[in-house]
Amino acid sequence: MRQASTVLVFATSGPALLEITGEVAEWLTGTGVGDGLLTLLCRHTSASLLITENASGAVRGDMLRWLDRMAPRDGRYAHDDEGADDMPAHLRSALTGVHLAIPVGGGRMQLGTWQGIFLAEHRDAPHRREVAAHVIGA
Protein backbone atom coordinates (compact mmCIF):
# COMPACT_ATOMS: atom_id res chain seq x y z
CA MET A 1 0.00 0.00 0.00
CA ARG A 2 1.36 3.40 -0.85
CA GLN A 3 0.28 6.98 -1.56
CA ALA A 4 1.15 9.99 -3.66
CA SER A 5 0.07 13.62 -3.69
CA THR A 6 0.49 16.78 -5.71
CA VAL A 7 -1.02 20.18 -6.34
CA LEU A 8 -2.46 20.71 -9.81
CA VAL A 9 -2.65 24.34 -10.94
CA PHE A 10 -5.17 25.78 -13.39
CA ALA A 11 -5.51 29.25 -14.86
CA THR A 12 -9.06 30.59 -15.11
CA SER A 13 -10.50 33.72 -16.72
CA GLY A 14 -13.99 34.33 -15.43
CA PRO A 15 -16.97 32.13 -14.54
CA ALA A 16 -16.71 28.78 -16.31
CA LEU A 17 -16.69 25.05 -15.83
CA LEU A 18 -13.18 23.95 -16.82
CA GLU A 19 -12.85 20.22 -17.43
CA ILE A 20 -9.80 18.84 -15.64
CA THR A 21 -10.45 15.10 -16.03
CA GLY A 22 -7.48 14.70 -18.38
CA GLU A 23 -5.00 16.46 -16.13
CA VAL A 24 -6.12 14.42 -13.11
CA ALA A 25 -5.96 11.15 -15.07
CA GLU A 26 -2.50 11.95 -16.36
CA TRP A 27 -1.18 12.57 -12.87
CA LEU A 28 -2.89 9.43 -11.57
CA THR A 29 -1.27 7.30 -14.28
CA GLY A 30 2.12 8.70 -13.32
CA THR A 31 1.70 7.61 -9.70
CA GLY A 32 1.45 3.97 -10.79
CA VAL A 33 -1.39 3.29 -8.33
CA GLY A 34 -3.68 0.67 -9.89
CA ASP A 35 -6.40 0.25 -7.27
CA GLY A 36 -7.20 2.73 -4.57
CA LEU A 37 -8.88 6.01 -3.72
CA LEU A 38 -8.34 9.42 -5.33
CA THR A 39 -9.22 12.62 -3.48
CA LEU A 40 -9.29 16.15 -4.87
CA LEU A 41 -9.58 19.37 -2.87
CA CYS A 42 -10.02 22.80 -4.43
CA ARG A 43 -7.99 25.09 -2.14
CA HIS A 44 -10.26 28.13 -2.57
CA THR A 45 -13.56 29.49 -1.29
CA SER A 46 -14.72 31.09 -4.53
CA ALA A 47 -14.02 28.18 -6.89
CA SER A 48 -15.19 24.58 -6.51
CA LEU A 49 -15.19 21.03 -7.90
CA LEU A 50 -18.03 19.29 -9.62
CA ILE A 51 -18.71 16.06 -11.48
CA THR A 52 -21.15 16.53 -14.33
CA GLU A 53 -21.84 15.64 -17.96
CA ASN A 54 -18.76 15.81 -20.14
CA ALA A 55 -20.38 15.64 -23.58
CA SER A 56 -22.53 18.75 -23.95
CA GLY A 57 -21.35 22.33 -23.74
CA ALA A 58 -25.01 23.30 -23.35
CA VAL A 59 -25.10 21.48 -20.02
CA ARG A 60 -22.22 23.59 -18.77
CA GLY A 61 -23.94 26.80 -19.90
CA ASP A 62 -27.19 25.81 -18.19
CA MET A 63 -25.26 24.88 -15.05
CA LEU A 64 -23.60 28.30 -14.89
CA ARG A 65 -26.89 30.15 -15.46
CA TRP A 66 -28.51 28.02 -12.75
CA LEU A 67 -25.74 28.91 -10.30
CA ASP A 68 -26.36 32.56 -11.19
CA ARG A 69 -30.00 32.17 -10.23
CA MET A 70 -29.29 30.17 -7.07
CA ALA A 71 -26.77 32.69 -5.72
CA PRO A 72 -27.48 35.94 -7.57
CA ARG A 73 -25.19 38.96 -7.64
CA ASP A 74 -27.92 41.28 -6.47
CA GLY A 75 -28.36 39.38 -3.23
CA ARG A 76 -27.83 42.39 -0.96
CA TYR A 77 -25.01 40.69 0.91
CA ALA A 78 -23.30 42.12 3.97
CA HIS A 79 -19.94 40.94 2.61
CA ASP A 80 -19.42 43.07 -0.50
CA ASP A 81 -16.05 44.77 -0.03
CA GLU A 82 -14.34 42.45 -2.52
CA GLY A 83 -16.84 43.10 -5.31
CA ALA A 84 -20.35 42.05 -6.30
CA ASP A 85 -19.09 38.69 -7.59
CA ASP A 86 -17.39 37.66 -4.33
CA MET A 87 -20.16 36.60 -1.95
CA PRO A 88 -22.09 34.79 -4.72
CA ALA A 89 -18.83 32.96 -5.45
CA HIS A 90 -18.60 31.76 -1.84
CA LEU A 91 -22.22 30.57 -1.98
CA ARG A 92 -21.77 28.75 -5.30
CA SER A 93 -18.64 27.15 -3.93
CA ALA A 94 -20.55 25.89 -0.87
CA LEU A 95 -23.40 24.70 -3.09
CA THR A 96 -21.26 22.54 -5.36
CA GLY A 97 -18.55 21.63 -2.85
CA VAL A 98 -14.76 21.77 -2.95
CA HIS A 99 -13.78 18.10 -2.65
CA LEU A 100 -14.27 14.89 -4.60
CA ALA A 101 -13.54 11.26 -3.69
CA ILE A 102 -13.21 8.82 -6.57
CA PRO A 103 -12.41 5.10 -6.41
CA VAL A 104 -9.61 3.94 -8.71
CA GLY A 105 -9.51 0.52 -10.41
CA GLY A 106 -7.12 -0.82 -13.02
CA GLY A 107 -5.26 2.47 -12.93
CA ARG A 108 -8.35 4.46 -13.92
CA MET A 109 -10.83 6.62 -12.06
CA GLN A 110 -14.10 4.69 -11.77
CA LEU A 111 -16.15 7.52 -13.29
CA GLY A 112 -19.18 6.74 -15.43
CA THR A 113 -19.02 7.14 -19.20
CA TRP A 114 -20.57 10.60 -19.17
CA GLN A 115 -18.91 11.93 -16.03
CA GLY A 116 -16.22 14.58 -16.18
CA ILE A 117 -14.42 16.43 -13.39
CA PHE A 118 -14.84 20.18 -13.58
CA LEU A 119 -13.17 23.05 -11.80
CA ALA A 120 -15.88 25.68 -11.37
CA GLU A 121 -14.60 29.25 -11.39
CA HIS A 122 -17.04 31.68 -9.76
CA ARG A 123 -15.06 34.93 -9.81
CA ASP A 124 -14.87 37.42 -12.72
CA ALA A 125 -11.15 38.18 -12.65
CA PRO A 126 -8.50 35.72 -13.88
CA HIS A 127 -7.25 33.41 -11.14
CA ARG A 128 -4.62 30.75 -10.54
CA ARG A 129 -6.46 27.87 -8.89
CA GLU A 130 -4.86 25.04 -6.92
CA VAL A 131 -6.35 21.56 -6.63
CA ALA A 132 -4.67 19.30 -4.07
CA ALA A 133 -4.68 15.69 -5.25
CA HIS A 134 -4.03 12.57 -3.17
CA VAL A 135 -4.15 8.89 -4.01
CA ILE A 136 -3.75 5.91 -1.70
CA GLY A 137 -3.77 2.31 -2.85
CA ALA A 138 -1.67 -0.43 -4.38
Report whether 134 contacts 74 (CB < 8 A): no
Q: Coil, strand, or helix at residue 38?
A: strand
Closest approach of Cβ 22 to a copy of itself, in Å? 18
Closest approach of Cβ 14 to a copy of itself, in Å? 19
Strand-pairing partners, residue 119, are 18, 49
Closest approach of Cβ 132 to a copy of itself, in Å? 4
β-pairing, 126-137 with 99-105?
unpaired
Positions that interact with a copy of itself (CB under 8 A): 1-3, 5, 7, 35-37, 39, 41, 43-45, 50-53, 56, 58-59, 61-63, 66, 70-71, 75, 77-79, 87, 90-91, 93-105, 110-112, 114-115, 130, 132-134, 136-138
Residue nearer to a copy of itself on the CB measure, 26 or 62:
62
Quickly list DSSP for 22-36: HHHHHHHHHHT--SE
For the four alpha carbons of 14, 20, 22 and 28, in that order, the dihedral sign comes to: positive
Q: Coil, strand, or helix at residue 110?
A: coil
Residue nearer to a copy of itself on the CB measure, 26 or 114:
114
Closest approach of Cβ 61 to a copy of itself, in Å? 5
